[in-house]
Structure 1
Amino acid sequence: MSLRRPAAVIALCCSLAWAALVATRIADRPASTTAGHPEHTLSDVTVPWPAHGQAALAVDGRGDLGASGGSRPVPIASLAKMMTAYLVLADHPLGGDERGFTVTFQDQDVLDWKLRNGGDQSLVRVEAGEVMDERQLLEALLLPSANNIAIVLAVHEAGSVTAFVRRMNDTADRLGMKDTTYTDPSGLDAGTVSTAPDQLRLVRTALRDATFADIVSMPSTSLPVVGEVENTNPLLRLPGFLGVKTGSDDAAGGCLAFAAVRRVGGRQVTVLGVVLGQRDGPLLAAAARAARPLAEAGFRAAETPGSR
């Protein structure tokens, strides 16, 4: 059983209630595109779209509030791991305190970690003979965003990375993510590309799984060999933000899929959004700076009668 700090326990309790909220489907409406314009007014709500990169925003019960930055597919870095986790949980659902399947790490897994360790990658150190259960593997995938764990899960699920990537693309097609192409399970390959509206569609779908919603809201967790690891999501330090996934590298810039919950007009409102390609300073900080005003705009939309 993973050891969690008190803050993580509080987040777990909050996320269980949150998962029930986001399980209600947000109406699927075509996103309006405002390429080249930093702001776009929808009804009485002005959405402060990022000046660069892409973004998409939706509010539970109001539908999509639009998108910015055009529709050209761009690298998404570790946002690709949302699809990896979604497929694992589709094959092996977890409920309550269930731990799921186990994986025993082999010499080749250790070699893969060592070969990757010299580069600029997010990794989790593994040892031969180490055992992780499904929940721990998903935590390692989604919190510290371990590329090597994405490979382990892909091979476990499909027998090879190639076969798993084929499943990722088949699932993207089924979900209507028409501008998305996966070339690897981690997003390290710059050939893994998508758009903000497509990734928002995946966020909306993946968050219906309570286990996924639980894990992405955890500030930290404890893994067998490395011990305590932190969630890379800077927004989790702020009230109301409960995930979802970060991504950053030179090709993709700063990317962030986010969810936030607040009481508006006496009811709980969930705002979902995605920002891609943020490069104003440190990449994850830039993505977080772009996401926060979008979340606020979503809450304003929820309290504005004229907004859809």
Structure 2
Amino acid sequence: MPNVVRRPRSAVRRPVTIAVVAVLLLVVAFLAAAALVPFAPTTASATTYAAPRSSAPELRFPGYGATAVEAEGFPESLTTSGDRKKRSIASISKIVTALVVLDRKPLDVGQQGPTVRFTPAMEALYAQYAAKNGEVAPLPSDLRMSQYRVFQVALMESANNYAGALALWAFGSMDGYREAAAAWLDEHGLDDTTIVEPTGLDPRNRSTATDLVDLGKLALADPLVEQVVGTRSATVPGVGEIENSNKLLGMDGVEGIKTGTLDEAGACLLFAATYERGGRDVTVIGVMLGGVDHDSLDVDVRRLLHSVADDFHVVTLTHEGQTFGTYEAPWQDGVDATASRAASVLVWGRTEVTAKATFEPVTVGAAGDRVGSVRFRVSHHDPVTVPLELDAAIDDPGVWWRWSNPFRGVQFDPAAALG
């Protein structure tokens, strides 16, 4: 009987056990990998932005002379009508006189300033200007008056002898004033303005409408001039009650600044008016030259101001919570990237708006997490940037979803896979 070699049962079971263990280890490794391998971050897909629309302004200009108008802080609003040549500016010249004198002898609001003593040369201006049918005011009996009071009579009453007196007081002679005025105009870039004397009675005092708008800005930037030209009436010792020659003061927001009348210039007005628009004050500065008379000119100024003010409007760039992109995670519905706040801008006339959103890669995140920003470009304005945030959470899907959707949406590094 041949010898039979029997293997121990343990020897037979060993390969089976190893195989089972190996399979279990593979399953465990698979489950662990499926549960632990990180997901690849996703970037939101942008939504279409509907830019707000605005229409072109329709301003109501007169059909004569030269006109320019601009809202401070809105350079795109500068609009002109009529000719662009240099024109006689009459008593608007006194604004230059006031600013040039203040440049030499500054005076703060609330102060009377030094005493102006009227010399014989200054006294003689009364008869000199009256002979030219220019506006004049009586001198105080003691021939003394504070600098502030002289400014009031010169600018409000438009008294030529007081404007001339300021020039002589500050610069000693008309030649001295003329040189100082030329230097001041050059310093402030008023290249199209010529001033040969301080009152405007000389038609050679000339400027363009656009230069005068810039002059108006300079005048309102000086607190003293702004106060005086915006005062309707005052009582000046030695002179009496004076009234502002600008009859539009207090009407339709008008707060200054200077009238002008001369045969060669016609009726003229350098004006400013302030309106509340979009929660802020907006000042409109303009000039109208070459009118027939001040009554009709004032009507035209009011009509123009209304049309300028009506062209201001608030453009809404975005509402709070407005969607600019959507993150798509494989395990849940899309989550939006939304504006964290509302944004708007006050504009004038036709305005173009564009928006560009940038998104950060996101794997998981909580509602309210910042995930990017949207940058709005608004014509004639500085860009506006609004943060974007998740409007809901992007949660980790959990181990059961990972096991039932193995390696779906995971981050895969080819270099690591290739060793």
User: Can you list the C-alpha shifts for 1:208-265, whole angstroms capped at 9, x where unaligned?
Assistant: 1111111100001112222001100011141411000000111110110111111112
User: Can you list the C-alpha shifts for 1:163-204, whole angstroms capped at 9, x where unaligned?
Assistant: 111221222222222221111111100111111101111111
Matches within 5 A, 1:226-305: 226-279=239-292, 283-303=293-313, 304=348
- Match of 1:47, SS state, is coil
Instruction: Report what 2:137 is aligned to.
Output: 124
- Match of 2:169, SS state, is helix
Q: Hey, what's the Cα distance between the residues in 1 that align with 2:266 and 2:84? A: 17
CA contact (8 A) 1:105 1:130 kept: yes
Instruction: Report what 1:78 is aligned to.
Output: 91
Q: Which aligned segments of 4 or more residues in structure 1 are displaced greater than 6 angstroms? A: none
Matches within 5 A, 1:84-103: 84-103=97-116
Work out whether 1:50 is the aligned partner of 2:94. Answer: no
Q: Which runs of 5+ in 2 are unaligned?
A: 1-53, 314-347, 352-379, 381-419
Q: Hey, what's the Cα distance between the residues in 2 that align with 1:112 and 1:91? A: 22
Using the size of structure 2 for normalisation, the TM-score is: 0.60
Distance 1:252 1:148, change over 3 A: same
Q: Hey, what's the Cα distance between the residues in 1 that align with 2:257 and 2:126? A: 25
Q: Hey, what's the Cα distance between the residues in 2 that align with 1:111 and 1:94? A: 26
CA contact (8 A) 2:140 2:237 kept: no
Q: Which amino acid aligns with 2:84?
A: S
The alignment's C-alpha RMSD in Å is: 1.9
Q: Which amino acid aligns with 2:197?
A: D
Q: Hey, what's the Cα distance between the residues in 2 that align with 1:72 and 1:59? A: 22
Work out whether 1:209 is the aligned partner of 2:253. Answer: no
Distance 1:116 1:44, change over 3 A: same
- Match of 1:235, SS state, is coil
Rg larger in structure: 2
Q: Hey, what's the Cα distance between the residues in 1 that align with 2:211 and 2:349? A: 27
Q: Hey, what's the Cα distance between the residues in 2 that align with 1:87 and 1:43? A: 41
Q: Quick check: which one's strand share is greater? A: 2
Using the size of structure 1 for normalisation, the TM-score is: 0.81
Q: Quick check: which one's helix share is greater? A: 1
- Match of 1:114, SS state, is helix
Instruction: Report what 2:350 is aligned to.
Output: 306
- Match of 2:164, SS state, is helix
Indicate the structure whose relative CO is greater, using CA pairs within 8 Å and at least 6 residues apart.
1
User: Can you list the C-alpha shifts for 1:136-179, whole angstroms capped at 9, x where unaligned?
Assistant: 11111110101111111111111111111122122222222222
Correspondence for 1:111 among 120, 124, 127:
124
User: Can you list the C-alpha shifts for 1:65-97, whole angstroms capped at 9, x where unaligned?
Assistant: 211122211100000000000112222222242
